[in-house]
A and B are shown apart, each in its own frame.
Chain A
Amino acid sequence: MMGIDPGTPGGALVALLPEVLLTAWALVVLLFVAWRHGSAHDSRLAGALSMAGYVLALLATGWLAWQGARAEGLPQMIALDGFRYASDALVLAIGLGVAILSVRWLERQGILAPEYYVLLMLATVGMMLLAGAADMITLFLGLEVMSIAVYVLAGYDRTRRASAEAALKYFLIGAFASGFLLYGIALTYGATGQFNFALIGAQLAAGEASVMARAGMGLLLVGFAFKVAAVPFHAWAPDVYEGAPTPVTAFMASGVKAAAFLALARLLAEAFPSFVELWRPVLWWLAIATMLIGNLVALAQQSMKRMLAYSAVAHAGYLLLALWSHSDAGTAAVLVYLLAYSITTVAAFGILASIERAGARTVLLADLEGLFSVRPFASLGMAVCMLSLLGFPGTFGFIGKWYLIAAPLAEGEVILPVVAMIASGISIGYYLPVVLAMTLKPTRTRQAHQTIRFPGPAKLAVAICVAAILVLGFWPRTVLDFATQEAVQLRRVAIPILTR
């Protein structure tokens, strides 16, 4: 156990060590690419550097977690607890995975602008700040750093109209969401005079629920619902996911969603625990609508990226179940499910990225036919991903689903788990056809799948993800114990302040 007082400059540096390291590294890479700009070799080098940066930040996070760093003194801007370290590690691992997937892919697509990796790292810093924020200002700062970098990344394939369209749509909707969020922060501040989550929680618990505080919370929820693409705030997701470069789509579907959910979990648990009766019904309806509509619309999709986009919407609905529970089990379920979902999403998009050809870039379900006979390992990996998203026993996705529905059940809620299970039952109707098309249908033409390029690093990253899905599906003990222990710390922060 290491006490840190982030109020002092030295303490702040230690508390923010992973973020500071990654930011500094991003700036170094930015300098590097200013000189070495243009050839495929440079782009590859920048990618390797960014991976080193991610590893460095992961080590720093691990060190903080290992030291058991905890906050001392007054309430702070950034959280220092196991939940933040778990969030940071998750977000960093996603960033690392996406960086690895991007390396050769960018060359193949002819996108030779290595600033890509700088933006990726800065977006990750934003996610870490967002997920670790203990204060409204940090929350907003993280959100904006993340969003602005991701707006640019979504439009990174400048020559393609779909990519530009995705960036513009994402930017407009994202700006709206930020507006809602900012207004919500302002109203909450107006009602309580506080920015810190724990202090807001203490104020709200002491006083009555003023209209201003309630409106503030409502606007915050709307802002987050946009970010996580919950129905009815999901309309941007399919177009943006489809248009963005595929590794960026993987980043948005896993990283952005994870960061927003982690931040929302902390916000609801620390700042608004006394409003639980107010936000629960909101999340309840959001979850029901998101799960059902996401899954039903996904059934009709032919484009793989669009299908995965709607499936990402549906998974946001499942995750809302865990938030609804407002319990330690629920928080643990958020961590477990996000881990399962992120690993699977990164692997699935990684495989999809390798199938894409320069030029014709939307992979349809029919394009996967007969993949197994040409690329058996890639299609087995994809099959594992689909089964994991479906929540099939033996994959980590099943463990995640199990935790998700056990959490509200323990609170005595039955309808949410029932709807979640109906929705996931529907989802077999679009996950299994992928497996079927790949393994058991004949290839359309003799030349099919000959253009697939699976570069070594991406192969390794996907293999690790797929292995993790299977291994954690059978031996989830360690992860579950960790998640349960770390999640328990979330709610403890507010208590000492409340009793003071």
Chain B
Amino acid sequence: MDAFLSAIGYERWILHVLLALPLAAMPLILAFPVRFARWIALAVALTETVLGLGLWWAFDPANPGLQFVTDVPWLGAFGIGYRVGIDGISVMMVLLSVVMMPLVVWGSWRGIDTKQRGFYALLLALKTGMLGVFVSLDLFLFYVFWELLLIPMYFLVGLWGSGHRLYAATTCVVDTLVGWRMMLVAVLWMVQGVGDATGTYSFSYMHLLEHADVMSPWASWLFVAFALAFAVKVPIFPFHTWLPDAHTEAPTAGSVDLAVILLKMGTYGFLRFAIPFFPGFALSETTGTIMAILAVTGIIYAALVAMVQPDLKRLVAYSSVSHLGFVVLGIWGSTVESVQGAIMVMVSHGLSTGALFFMIGFLYERRHTRKIADYGGLARVAPLLATAFVITAFSSIGLPGLNGFIGEFLVLLGAFGRYPWLVVAATTVVVFSAAYLLWATQRVFFNRFTNPLNEGIGDLTRREVAVLGPLIAAMLWIGLYPGPILRRTESAARQYVEMIQPHLPPAREAPVRVAGVAP
């Protein structure tokens, strides 16, 4: 495989093709009659998946630095360039995005019956934006891609959503945009400051990273601006209020994209930009403790709130907040284990929450309700769906043998040395998450079959099996054999930890070591 990929010059063109293909297909969708829209979108998405999966082999796990780097001047006079590349942190996100792409299209196959051309065109635009965010190595480009995401997101929620969709769409974009524009100020300030000190005004990530220490007198302000932008997107505990609404009202494709990819952009931003630029402030005793407390508060609070939600989608939305708290805890745990764990949680939360949203979407297509109380005893009429739901719920809870366990375990293990009591508190969430998900599963699929309207619900169709199948296979695979993924993220995580090491306050040793992960 390696030889084949290098023979076709894979690493020279792959990132550009991944970025350009969805955008190039947008006019095609608009030009062809409506009935072709979803087929074009599916064809593009499958092409992206086939092409993108090559990254799994072409990516060199031993190289901790950035790979596949391209640097072409764009607005050269302002130090702006088309700079892209990936490393062990972003490669997983890119892979996750390309794998989800056809599933999202396929999952919307029946649910979207109005304005299909617009829907699929926006879905493709969203894809370019998401991939762009993960591969940009130029802060201007990063910002542009990030803002580019807003428009499709707004329309997807605002038009194909349900209920209070306009309210949800507006709060979602306003909250996000305010945070992002803070970041724009911080970026311009940094470029100005670094430029004044070094004589080179450039938005290049490498350049800014190398000279970020000249901004250290203002590190606190700059970090707060960056952190605000990312914290809203993650979302970290007090900034999470937009998420349940947006998740609940969005169409299935929107919820899945939001959960699987968009939320990760926040945590990715912390790992890639906010902490490496200002490690002195970001990892100081105070900031670290605040962030860890917020993370653990989010983990427990969101789990408790999820327990009482009458709406299935809202329940899963709150569970997202809870899971993302683990990622933040892992990032601030600042050990190789915890950072790898954070990346792992990002991947496995994508798989399991994505699958949950798909299944809720399938139920909604059949019954047009998401109320838990409207269901009951579905296992009798839809045994396949019930099986898939139970597996996914276990994976989301973190049952050993499924993917959810690996990441959360690594996070807890890695962060224990630094925040022992917070980690102990976070561990209790396993009980709560089991409570909310299993209880919901029981009320929807088991219990007594009371509502005669559910009689004609029918089991999963072949299309739906095709959507869920890859996700469940991936859950089992990662849960049983996480080695290949951990190997690919390890060197990047190690390099990250070595980079921030001098800024870390001392911590105790982790209680256990994991072979193949820890040094």
Contacts and interface: CB of A to CB of B under 8 A. Distances in A.
A446 interface: no
B155 A436 contact: yes
Interface string A130-174: 000000000000000000000000000000000000000000000
A189 B253 CA distance: 68
B178 A425 contact: yes
Interface in B145-171: 147-148, 150-151, 154-155, 158-159, 166, 170
B144 A417 contact: no
Contacts of B184: 402, 405, 421
A426 interface: yes
Interface stretch (B185-193, B380-388, B473-481, B486-494): B185-193
A418 B221 CA distance: 11
A282 interface: no
Contacts of A68: none
B503 interface: no
A428 B188 contact: no
Contacts of A393: 143-144, 147-148
B17 interface: no
Nearest to B118: A440
A215 interface: no
Contact of A406 (B144, B173, B188, B225): B188
A500 interface: no
Contacts of A394: 144
B159 A432 contact: no
Contacts of B453: none
A405 B77 contact: no
A432 B154 contact: yes
Given A393-B143, A410-B192, A432-B173, A425 B185 contact: no
B486 to A, nearest CB: 36
B19 to A, nearest CB: 15
A405 B173 contact: no
A424 interface: yes
Interface string B169-183: 010011001111110
B463 interface: no
A367 to B, nearest CB: 17
- Interface SS majority for chain B: helix
Interface string B104-121: 000000000001001000
Contact of B188 (A409, A432, A439): A409
Contacts, number: 76
A300 interface: no
Contacts of A422: 178, 181-182
A3 B286 CA distance: 65
Contact of A426 (B159, B174, B188, B225): B174
A236 interface: no
B189 A414 contact: yes
A426 B173 CA distance: 9
A117 B179 CA distance: 46
B47 to A, nearest CB: 25
Interface in A381-439: 387, 392-394, 402, 405-406, 409-410, 414, 417-418, 421-422, 424-426, 428-429, 432-433, 436, 439
B75 interface: yes
Contact of B182 (A409, A421, A428): A421
Given A392-B147, A425-B177, A426-B178, A477 B185 contact: no
A409 B155 contact: no
Contacts of B118: 439-440
Contacts of B185: 405, 409, 414, 417-418, 421
A61 B498 CA distance: 62
Contacts of B147: 392-393
B158 A436 contact: yes
Contacts of A441: 159
A405 B155 contact: no
A424 B185 CA distance: 12
A402 B159 CA distance: 31
Contact of A440 (B159, B170, B177): B159
B192 A429 contact: no
Given A421-B182, A477-B77, A409 B158 contact: no
A425 B174 contact: yes
Interface in B351-379: none
A402 B144 contact: no
Contacts of B148: 393
B188 A418 contact: no
B192 A418 contact: no
Contacts of B188: 402, 405-406, 409, 417
A455 B118 CA distance: 29
Interface in B117-131: 118
Interface in B43-76: 75
Contacts of A436: 154-155, 158-159
Contacts of A426: 174, 178
B192 A421 contact: no
Contacts of A414: 185, 189, 221
A406 B187 CA distance: 10
Max chain B CB contacts within 10 Å: which of A387, A410, A440, A477?
A: A440
Interface string B84-105: 0000000000000000000000
Given A414-B221, A440-B155, 7 more contacts: A393-B148, A428-B154, A428-B174, A429-B174, A433-B166, A436-B155, A440-B118
6 contacts: A393-B143, A414-B185, A418-B185, A422-B178, A426-B174, A426-B178
A-B interface, 4 closest residue pairs, ranked by CB to CB distance from nearest: A421-B181, A425-B178, A425-B177, A393-B144
Interface of B: 75, 77, 115, 118, 143-144, 147-148, 150-151, 154-155, 158-159, 166, 170, 173-174, 177-182, 184-185, 188-189, 192, 221, 225
